[in-house]
Amino acid sequence: MAGLSMEHPWAFAFGLLGNIISFITFLAPIPTFYRIYKSKSTDGFQSVPYVVALFSSMLWIYYALIKTNETLLITINAAGLFIETVYIIMYLIYAPKKAKLFTVKILLLLNVGVFGVILLITLLLFAGERRVVMLGWICVGFAVGVFVAPLSIMRRVIQTKSVEYMPFSLSLSLTLSAVVWFLYGLLIKDKYVALPNVLGFTFGMVQMGLYVFYMNKTPVIAEGKEASKLPAADEENVIMTIPKLSPALPEKSSEVHPVYEMAAPRTCAAEAAAAAAVAENRAVFDVVRHSPAVRAV
């Protein structure tokens, strides 16, 4: 087997390292779910990132089984499948009724419906190497979709000149993971594993470049329509604290940034829009951070 054979020691080494990095990243949401457990409430967290991560693990396990000789892909995604299932069960236990129904609908649509269609199409319409090719490109397409998710966050960093929206640790982990899995795919001559990580490495480098460029900049407040898209300040005065996007992320700073303009009075509609923007940003981060499409391929 290419992934485990000592005839390919470097492939084994990078695959093992990728497993370790990915497994550690799978455990990143533990503080989030500990908070959910303690408060007995999901506290506005979304289930979509975990459902997407579960789907990704299912997809890559299926690919690895069809191709064969991809043991290191199976091990990490099997671990991911178990861990994400535990997260989703905990979410369903403590989520309000509306969130539970939404989560069940997404599970049925994506993990049962879409995966079932992929399963039937690849098993009934394709055979042998053509099946591997078809499934490989499906995996690549899904992985690329996950990698593209941070584009909206990078745009917001540029608009606000605040790196609070894009933690350096996340960008670094994405870059390292992409490098490791690219080298693994390259060494075992699996383009479907290697290709999406070229994009992952590129986005990771761009994110770290943005972080270095904006890390010492003074955050700005957008005016007019854009203002409603930014997180609201904790106090209506000349001092503003940029809120954290997710409790699951490491605490980075409690730094207070001065703003040299009086904050405009907030309406209920503006506050609601700002809260929705924060939730949207957190969901994008969680999708990227928790999805095995990013980490395990």
Q: How many CA atoms lie within 13 A of 134 on its CB side?
A: 15
Residue 199, exposed/middle/buried by CB under 10 A (0-12, 13-18, 19+)?
middle
pTM above 0.75, yes or no: no
Q: Which of 292, 288, 246 has the alpha carbon at shortest distance from 42? A: 246
With a CB cutoff of 8 Å and minimum separation 6, the contacts of 2 are 8, 11, 69, 70, 188, 189
pLDDT band at 214 (very low <50, low <70, confident <90, very high): confident
Token digits of residue 146? 């996950």
Angle at 212 between CA 208 and CA 216, to 5 degrees: 145
Model pLDDT, residue 217? 76
pLDDT digits (tens, 9 = 90+) for 158-207: 888 877 767 777 778 778 888 999 999 999 999 999 998 888 888 888 88
Give the integer Cα–Cα distance in Å for 121 and 287. Answer: 26
% of the chain beyond a pLDDT of 90: 35
- Torsional class of 233: left (φ above 0), alpha (ψ -120 to 50), beta (otherwise): beta
Please say whether the beta carbons of 156 and 165 come within 8 A.
Answer: yes
